[in-house]
Structures are given as structure tokens and as C-alpha cells.
A and B are shown apart, each in its own frame.
Chain A
């Protein structure tokens, strides 16, 4: 029979929500206004594109076709990546661990060779020499692990004949470091904030409801019967 009381109170609250426009505003419009207001204040809306620092170790031995140069130019042209060259992997790794760059791209020695084999027979994957571009990422930077690999993958695909399908490329991008790339949806990003807002509003509204009920004697009316208090 307790369900009957809970349902009665729920029904009452639903009616209140529909019949009192101020409640509707508090529930639906106020959080939206807040999210936009805080988003504009702290989210850097209109602040332009972020730029990631990427170190490149060019081990390409190609002479006739300098594919690595095309690749580097293409990376710089994205305007999202700021490319810096390093002599060897160790120096680049040091820079990564010091936090001055967020990713290291290692161009393998057979990069140009692979590119040339692809150009010679673009439609025959069996004739290609496959090259693996290695990528090291800053484990601490959530943005870098999310944003940098797709950009580099896209550039690699683009230089290998503008194909959007990575499977048709002789280049493979391998994340060499043991960073587990976790996909994060917009909901994951928004959920904590929304829950916080929802909780704050819920607490505010319940407190307001209690204050009003106390003021007009409703709490006493409830309290004078034990069953009412249990339902509350």
C-alpha cells in the first residue's frame, strides 16, 4: 500500500510541474541557460583551433622520390600540427617525456621506397612495399591521444593518392607507445556537468518545496499523521 502514497505524491509533483510555469522554467530552461553561460565563460567558444606540437624523426632513405618531405609538408599544412624535426628517436623521446611535444612520428627508412612502389602500381597492392609509420603519444594528454592519430592517418592516406580508404594505402600507422586510446563520446564529456547541475537544481527545488510547505503548515499536516511522514 506504500506505493499508493508514493504514486499520489508523484502525481501531485507532476501536476505542480505542469501547472506552475516557474517550475517548468527551473527544470528545462534554466539548466540550458546555465550550460551555455558556463560554456561561453570557460569553454573558450570562438577561441580558434588548438595546435599540437609534434616531433618528427625522419629516417627515410629515399633519394629519387622524397616522399617524407611531401608527408612533412602535408602535416604542416594541416595547421593543427606544429612539426619539429629531431635527429634521432632518443632525442625526440626525451622531448616527449619533458612535455615540450605531445607526439613523436617516426618515418621509417623504406618510406620513399614504399611510396614509389605505390606510384608504380597504384592498383596492385601486392606489388607495394609496405611501410610502417610509428607514433609515440604523450600518455598524460587526453587531447593529444584523441586528436593526433586520426590527423596523421588522414595525412598519410591523402598523400597516397587522395583515397579516403586507409586499406588502400601502403602506409600503416602504428601507435608504438603503450597508450590505450580510449574513445570518449560527447556524453561522457557532458555527463558530469549535467549531473552536477541536475543535482543542484533538484536540491534547490526540494528545499524550496519544503520551505513552502513548512510556511503554509503543510509539513505539520503531514507530521500529524505517521503515514504521511513515511511517504515523504
Chain B
């Protein structure tokens, strides 16, 4: 999933798990003081965490929540957005089948939203049935009930030819007939009428509306992770009225139809968005959103996030919240402030990519021993330090962050430059010259390139920079296998956040290490293709139980690290700040932010 970035450190991700709640006494309000956790279900550290303390008092209804932001979302379309900020932007007005619980310590627990309960799964594990709640309506005129047909339409729209959902590889192989449906869709003209015709007139056997409130999913194989995946906004229902617009278009974004507690009052791309109450929403049907505030305004025009933070600290009425405005340098002065929250993204961001098919140096990077030697030479502590220190960057020495089920706490490459030198010598490699692809406009990218240059220089490896403009970095280099095969780069940096949480190991291994799918369809930018790893991924995907799957994912993790497919650096934390008059600020990993639909303002502050 595309994740949000901060000035100094790329930030994506996820957050607080049961471990954190335990460390803070299990209170929903948290401790308010820094706490270090040294244990997790997987036995690996989740590092420094701090939960803000402001969940006291009686919630007050009303007021306007004013939010400052420096960027816009990708698409204001629940079936298409593939961005944590996009998920946050659709959450107030678009309800999904399932959602994440907005309670401290349970933020990655999946709970029903439109669904009445967890899906019922057939004995062979291949049929899942979801029942929809009664009493949920679109804000059409007159209001109309949300139906199972709307859910089917939403899933079909996800692979529309104008702008398909970026995470399709997560489930297109899994839903019966979906790949065929999408292949046919790809041939359709990308205009509203053609898209609507195909959507309404082409069957998708894997997703069927059995009756107005029952959706039946038929899978190609048992998938223990599929129920967790159903929390993706892309599985949200889509009203027929949206057939009038090209999915993910600006026109569609400005004619949204809501079934959540809010509706889009106005949307000016890159400038502002305003949510007001949806009159047809019934709070008794929604256990996910409390909808305390009457109105949410997002000003997307701030250019300097530090200024936004200063406004927050000064109690400026128009700065109740500020998107990712706390930088690494702000942290020391905010540590004792109860309004600071520092929680885990549950991501691998950034990591160093090895171009395993680079022809440079006689294909040296294709050798496992060479990649292992480089892994020993790279000093993770240096990289963490220049990224803002270990309070914001928890060391990650394997594929899966500690909070993802199946994570195995291993560190196969503790920093050891002399061993690295010996290994290179044993591998018959000398005078290695590597090209590091980086983005000069990114502070963290530029700094990490130079750290790698110095660290590898100590073992006689020469690293030269290949600067790439932001617009070219992915489109011209990383997403082009030919660029990797031509040796235009040998090393680079990328980041990855899961598309869903909990049983989400596939969301890491599939896109990053399954060598049978190449970029741009995957994010295996280093073209790593190891038959043993591919087989391990298949085995884990086909596991009949969650326990078996998690054990297998752990093995896959070890296989990938033994093959030195990449060099993980950190599972970063997101620092956020809120003023004392903003309450119930529970960090949600899926948004890398608080849940706007559940925060409330002090009564004397909610008139702004």
C-alpha cells in the first residue's frame, strides 16, 4: 500500500497492538509517558512507543474539527484508493463491510461495519457469506437502502479500466472468476458509459448477491487471511448512481454518495475538503464511528508542516489536528507532552533493494554470498540514527514487522565489516562498484545513500549515486524490470506497508518476494526470484489453518533473509500531536492517523 511520507523520514503504516496496551496497563487512555516494550507475540521488539493521554471526560457532541494537511489524497473513491490517506478520507462517508476497531490496543482488530458479523465460512473454506445490516441508507433522494448488489458493483469497479485499484494482486487470484472479469474489463473503453455497461452486464461468479442483504464470496482456494482482507475499503458498496462518472475521476469525487455519518459537502482538489453530517445515517447501525463532531474541514494548503505544529501548540482554533506535522527534531521537546503519540506503523519502510539481476560487476549481486556480505557490511544503527533515531525507527532485521502474524525475530546479519570483507574475497569478488539509485529531493533517501556509501566503502566497495527525479524514480527505474536488467542501478531504497493487518504476511511476501510476478504488477523491484521462496509462499497461502500459515510465513521469512533478498532497516513509528481539547485520539495504523469520526472536542472548543 502506498504510504504517507514525512519530510525527514518516510512514514507509513500501522500501529498499536495488544503488546502496547499491555505495556501501558491495558488502559484505553494509555500511560502518557514514554514506555519501551521489549516483547511482542512474535518475540521481537516493537521499540519505543508512547500513547497520548487525553481520553478522559464525557464526550461532547458538536463542533468543527479543523485539520491541516500539506497534501491531497490519491482518489476520493473507496473502491479505488490505495493510499492510507485515501482510506482516511473515505472513512467518514463511506462504510465498508468490515473496519478496524477504534480502541487503544485493538486498532488492528477487524470488526463488522456494514456486515452484521464475521463472515460464515464453508467447511471447505472456499465459500464465505456476509450478511449486511438493515437500516443503512445512501443519501440519495429519496434515501435508498444499501444492498448486496451495491457490494458486488463496488468489487467489480475495483478493476475498472480507467483507474484500477492498485492492490488487485492481493485478491484477484483468490476470487473465483475475478481475473477473467478484470481481463475483459481491461478491454473496455475507459469512459463512464462503457464502464457502467460492463459492470452491470457482466457476471462475476466469485461475488454474488444472493439476496438484498447477503453477499456470497467464492474463492479459488481456502484463504485464512481473506476475512482480514475484507476490511479493505475497496470492498465497500457502490451505488448505481456512481455509474454516471468515471471511477476515481474528479467528477466522481465531487458527486459522492454517502452511507456513513458524514457526506462530502465540498471538495476542491489539493485545496480543501469539507464533511458535514449525513442526515440519513443512523448511529444505531454503526459500531465503528461515533461521529461526535458536526463538521470536519481539511485545509490541504499548508506548505510547512512545522508551522502547522506550531499552530497546534499555540492552540490555534483552525489547527485542531495537523497531518504528520511532528518531525524527528520536534520529538525531544514534545516527549513529556501528553499530547504526543508515537506508535508503530507495522511496516518495513524504508529497506534497501538489491538488484539481483544486475549485469554490473559480472553479475555479482546475483550471488547470494555477495548480498550476504553486503548485508554484514551495512550498519543498520547508522541508518536508523540519520533517519531520526531509534525512538522513531525501530530496527527491523527480517521481513515481517513484529506485529504481523508469523513474524519471526531473527537477525542473520549483525554488522561485521571484517566478515563481509572475507566473504567477498571468498566469493572471488573484488573492486565491486555499485550504483545507488536515490531521490535527491528526499532528505532520507539522500542521507541513507551517503551512509551506505560510507559503510560499504569500508570494505572496499565503491558506491556511486544515480540521482532520479521523483517522477522518474518508480516509473523510469524501479517499475521497469528492463532498467534493473540493464544495470542502471544496483541498490536502491523503497518502503512497504501492508494492505491489511494481523494475518497480513501475504501482503508482504506476495508483492515483494514472489519472483513469478514482476513490476509493475508487483513491487519485487530487485527481481528476486527464488524457487524455494516461491514454493514457501504457495505453501503458506494454501495453509488450512492460521497457525499453520503463520508457521510457514516464519519459515519464508527466514528463507528470504538467508538469501539476502533485501536489507530491512526499520519498522518506523508515527509521531502525532493533538492539543488538550481534542479527545479520543486513538492512533489507527490503517490511516497513520487518528480516526476523525471518533475524536471529540471540549465543549468550549467545539464552536470553531
A binds B: no
Q: Which residues of A contact B (CB under 8 A)?
A: none
Q: Which residues of B contact A (CB under 8 A)?
A: none
